[in-house]
Amino acid sequence: MAKGPYSEKVMDHFMNPRNMGEIEDANAVGEVGNPACGDVMKLYMKINDEGIVEDVKFKTFGCGAAIASSSMATELIKGKRVEDVLRLTNEAIVEALDGLPPAKIHCSVMAEEAIEAALKDYYQRIGKDPKIVDEMKEKIKTEIAS
Amino acid sequence: MIYMDNVAGTKPDKRVVEKMLPFIEEKYGNPSAHFYPLGRESFEAIEEAREHVASLINAKSDNIVFTSCGTESNNLAIKGVAFNSEYEGKKHIIISEIEHYSVQNTALKLTNLGFEVTKLKVDETGLVSLEDLRNAIREDTLLVSIMHANPEIGTIQDIEKIGEICKEKGVLFHVDAVASCGHVEVDVEKFKCDLLSIASQNFYGPKGVAALFIRDGVKLTPLFDGGFQERGYRSGSENVPAIVGMGEAARIAKEEMHIYAPKMIQLRKKLWDGLAKMFDFLHFTGHPEQRLPGHVSFWIEYIEGESLLLSYSLKGVAAASGSACSSNILAEDEDELEASHVLTAVGVPNDICAGSLTFSMSKYNEEKDVDYVLEITPAIVNRLCEMSPYYNKK
Ligand code: FES
């Protein structure tokens, strides 16, 4: 029997969000919104010279699922290499949260999109074409498919 | 748990439960079986309940039909007249923008059968304009269906004046009084209504039982065909324990409403004033005075409703939210998340999931409950503001 619409993990991350806040000297900032329900997620990353996410923080306007997804996403990408960060899918976020109600899956999609947006910003800042993020994502997808 | 979601359903009064118990255990006879005492006993209990329910709304008991819920009463009222040949040719129905889904969707369904529905706008306090109503009534208007009080924003309509206009224009008038009955006076004579829905769970009775008042002379086609229970308006075996419970709840409400309503108004004032002082970005919804006694509703800038609702729940307070994010959360897909039509109608920005919340108190709430809500609110709001990318500390 379900105890409520959200798993204990979701409730835990909602109550005690990890990495909430802003990073003053972030070098990767992404903001995405969901026009349908109005969620907005802003993600800040500090990526070092080795291409490793040293620090990450978020701010989210949204429901319990949106806040928990943001929090979980930051946990999952902290300390990772940029290439590996891009491997994080919304499904993995949902799994790490022990599931989300079907109507709330889009809140995890938003977290994945926020990461992409932040990395695009990062590449732009270091003088590369942000499209590289899309290409990398494509590559990962075909890799997984094969 | 501090329970402040009484528009969703009130805690049954102990006396109601006691009255119901024998009808679950030993007095199990079918009221249609008059020929032996066990059946007759159930029959009489239902008739006694009918008297109490009628008396609560100043009606005759003959005009009361028991149903299973407010939704059924609303469906029976609207489809009942729409399907009746007596009113053939009248194909226009007027409702307001803030009606309950059971009125909105029922009216909408009828458009497939050639009916036309006019939805009256409401002002920012949730009131229907009498002028608009007057202008909307046409030759072929069959029915006006307007709710007495809105459960989400608490506004109480000028229902007597609306009734007068309907009477004057000779159109049928249905009132959905589910949210108001047992909290403020509901009187079918003063309202000049032809049909009126009430539900037991909203006035300290059990869930799963409700009633429809049908004025003499109004022709209704029943929704169910069957064995002619409830004078044919509602065939099907009666839920005797529930009906008995509703009757007792009605009796208590009639006797005691004048005691608890003023207390609830005081609690409302305390909660309202306390919240008003806290944040300049908190906006109340509904009418400031013309509202349900224990009802406070508002939305907060920068914050989304479901996260507000969850935060209160984690602190032991049960409330309600009209934000899309909390609606239908167990739905199969996100398309079913829809911001409340009521909030949209009163002008709450709908491009964001507004942080809307409704605290609805009952006769069981105490001053200490309000104190507690006021005490925990700043931390809840500040925490969510901290998290919000919209909020910039001033
Ligand atoms: S915030 Fe609206 S559904 Fe997640």
Which of chain A's residues have a Cβ under 8 Å away from the Cβ of B334?
36-37, 102-106
**Closest residue in A to B302 (Cα–Cα):** A61
A8, A39, A61: best mutation site toward chain B, by most B Cβ within 10 Å? A61
> Which segments within A1-146 are labelled E, that is strand?
28-33, 40-47, 53-61
Helical H runs in chain B? 14-24, 37-56, 70-82, 101-111, 130-136, 159-169, 188-191, 240-278, 305-314, 341-345, 367-387
- At the topology level, CATH places domain A8-140 in Sufe protein. Chain: A (3.90.1010)
Q: How many whole angstroms separate alpha carbon B25 and alpha carbon B196?
A: 32
Among B residues 344-363, those touching chain A with beta carbons less than 8 Å apart = 351-353
Q: How many whole angstroms separate alpha carbon B19 and alpha carbon B244?
A: 7
Burial bucket for residue B150 (CB in 10 Å: 0-12, 13-18, 19+): buried
Predicted local confidence at residue A2, as pLDDT: 55
Question: Nearest 5°: CA angle at B176, between B194 and B193?
Answer: 20
Q: How far is A59 from chain B (nearest CA, A)?
A: 5
DSSP annotation of B344: H
Q: How many whole angstroms separate alpha carbon A128 and alpha carbon B3?
A: 56
Q: Mark B82-106 as b/e (b = at least 16 C-beta within 10 Å).
A: bebeebeebbbbbbbbbbbebbbeb
Cβ of B1 under 8 Å from any chain A Cβ? no
Q: What SS3 class is residue B324?
A: helix
Q: Which of A11, A20, A37, A140 is flagged as catalytic? A: A37
Q: Can you give the residue ranges of every domain in chain A? A: 8-140
Contact A62 B304 (CB under 8 A): yes
pLDDT at A66 over 60: yes
Condensed to tens digits (0 to 9), the pLDDT of residues B172-206 reads 999 999 999 999 999 999 999 999 999 999 999 99
Residue nearest to atom 4 of ligand 1 (CA): A63
Closest Cβ opposite residue A36 in set B306, B323, B334: B334
CA of B323 to the centre of ligand 1 (A): 9
Which of chain A's residues have a Cβ under 8 Å away from the Cβ of B329?
5, 101, 103-104
Cβ of B177 under 8 Å from any chain A Cβ? no
Closest Cβ opposite residue B353 in set A38, A104, A105: A38
DSSP annotation of A102: G
ipTM for the whole complex: 0.91
pLDDT at A1 over 50: no
A61 CA: nearest ligand 1 atom: 1
Active site includes B325?
A: yes
CA of B107 to the centre of ligand 1 (A): 29
Q: How many whole angstroms separate alpha carbon B222 and alpha carbon A113?
A: 53
Contact B390 A105 (CB under 8 A): no
- At the topology level, CATH places domain B12-253 in Aspartate Aminotransferase; domain 2 (3.40.640)
Place of tokens 């507000």: B308
Q: Do residues B180 and B209 make contact, with C-beta atoms less than 8 angstroms apart? A: no
Q: Can you give the residue ranges of every domain in chain B? A: 12-253, 257-387
Active site includes A63?
A: no
Predicted local confidence at residue A55, as pLDDT: 97
Among residues B133, B204, B196, B197, which one has the least CA distance to residue B169? B133
Which of the residues in chain B have pLDDT under 70?
Answer: 350-353, 393-394
Cβ of B343 under 8 Å from any chain A Cβ? no
Predicted local confidence at residue B227, as pLDDT: 85
Return the HEC string of B183-228: CECCCHHHHCCCEEEEEHHHHCCCCCCEEEEECCCCCCCCCCCCCC
Q: How many whole angstroms separate alpha carbon A71 and alpha carbon A65?
A: 10
- At the topology level, CATH places domain B257-387 in Aspartate Aminotransferase, domain 1 (3.90.1150)
Phi/psi of residue B107, each to 5°?
-60, -40
Residues whose CB falls within 8 Å of the CB of residue B132, separated by 6 or more in sequence, listed in order: B120, B121
Amino acid letter, A83: E
Closest Cβ opposite residue B304 in set A61, A102, A105: A61
Predicted local confidence at residue B332, as pLDDT: 76
